[in-house]
Amino acid sequence: MKEIDDFRQKKVLVLGLGKSGYSAALLLQHLGAQVTLNDAQDLTHNKRAQQLVDAGIEIVSGHHDVALFQKHFALMVKNPGIGYDNPMVQQALHLKLPIITEPELAYRVSEAPFICVTGSNGKTTTTTLIQLILDHHRQHGHAYKAGNIGIPVSEVVQQATAQDDIVVETSSFQLLGVQQLKPKIAVLTNIYEAHLDYHKTRANYVKAKMNITKNQTATDYFVVNFDQAEWRQLSQQSQAQIIPFSRTNYTKQGAYQQDGTLYYRGEAIISVAEVALPGPHNIENCLAAIAVAKIMKKSNADIRAVLSTFTGVKHRIQYLTTKQGVKIYNDSKATNIEATKVALNSFTEPTVLIAGGLDRGFQFDELVASMQNVKAIVLYGQTKHLMAAAAQKAHIQTIKIVDNLDQAVVSAWPLCQPGDVLLLSPAAASWDQFQTFEQRGDRFIQDIKDLGD
């Protein structure tokens, strides 16, 4: 880690605890900053907060108080989940105080280059594939994964050296805080309509995503999905070298699929049949990973070793088990309509779908065309009636409405027959009944275990 003086003796406000706030506060203190952490929740009995207090960091919790700005902070490090309409953020903007997020802070002290991955869907799988390939049979250093994947970048940079690589999953929320972040390789998996409750408009959302490449130069690389015209046009905003990938064989200048094989610039890498991950969307993720791996001079053997054995990330079309001839998948990460379309299109078997969650004001007619293999649907949460309307348009014979996920599993199981797929793919955020999609997925896993044999 670089021992920089940028923050020494400067007063810094960390807004929001969480994993990233905790790590950012400790890193800033190590760099000589005078840190105050503010969280709207009461942190009196929070173990992490107490650890920060024991380390000499000031904690103000239980409310947001703009009077804190009388301390004359030089910088705000904001939890990415806190919106820009928050009164503390609004006051910081009024005072023209720089506002960054934790990956930006970590980048400034990192000796290791960053490979940053963003997109509406596929970020975590692509990040994981890249990290595994770069670390496979590596002779010097390590490849780490961090960021929105659940591992604070501020922790990883403190152990990573110049011989290492850090593969960072970056969300649109985190990318809003980009000032100096300049990844050696940036990856855009796709852009659909998501998080409009946070960004307000799709244009704002797209602009946030494109911050991943705004500081890149001609010595850097921008790996972009070329399967849609919008994404090809967005790539023109970058000053980096464009490396396209395409499942629909649009381009042969980067990674692409042709006749059941994945290629990189004319060189066959692996057959689709050998890829362990299910579904066409995962072919796109693999192509992105291949492009990065080839830029980083990894061998085809290393790429094949990972792509032929990696079976998926938890909560992302995660295969759980086969019970009485029924294959069961946990896709709790499907927090938007597009993600559930991807999941449904991954299976040809008759499918019993469990879905529903937070109502963000969307209609679900987009799902109708992808429901052709859905034989029954069980719905819960705020969106249950909206999704039921879409299911009726898809002419699904069996539509059940229940109150919660536990009831949904109990109701769905008798509808399954040997050869079917039972799929949790909510097409909505979890926050109406769960704190996170991980919590929702873990509950589903437990509910499946509770069904017995």
Separation of alpha carbons 391 and 65, rounded Å? 47
125 is in an annotated binding site: yes
Q: Give me the mean pLDDT over the 150-174 stretch.
A: 96
Residue 194 is predicted with a pLDDT of 67
Residue with tokens 């007619």: 365
Cβ neighbour number for residue 120 with a 10 Å cutoff: 19
Residue 250 is predicted with a pLDDT of 67
Enumerate the H helices of 172-296 as residue ranges: 172-175, 196-199, 202-210, 229-235, 280-295
Separation of alpha carbons 244 and 287, rounded Å? 9
56 is in an annotated binding site: no
Banded pLDDT at 195 (limits 50, 70, 90)? confident
Lowest mean pLDDT among 64-78, 142-156, 192-206, 278-292: 192-206
Average pLDDT, the chain: 95
120 is in an annotated binding site: yes
Q: Give me the mean pLDDT over the 93-100 stretch.
A: 97
121 is in an annotated binding site: yes
pLDDT tens digit string along 281-294? 899 999 999 999 99
Separation of alpha carbons 425 and 324, rounded Å? 21
Cβ atoms of 33 and 135 closer than 8 Å: no
Report pTM.
0.82
Sorted by where each starts, the structural domains of the chain and their CATH numbers stand as 11-100 (3.40.50.720), 103-307 (3.40.1190.10), 318-450 (3.90.190.20)
Lowest mean pLDDT among 21-25, 192-196, 244-248: 192-196
Amino acid letter, 280: P
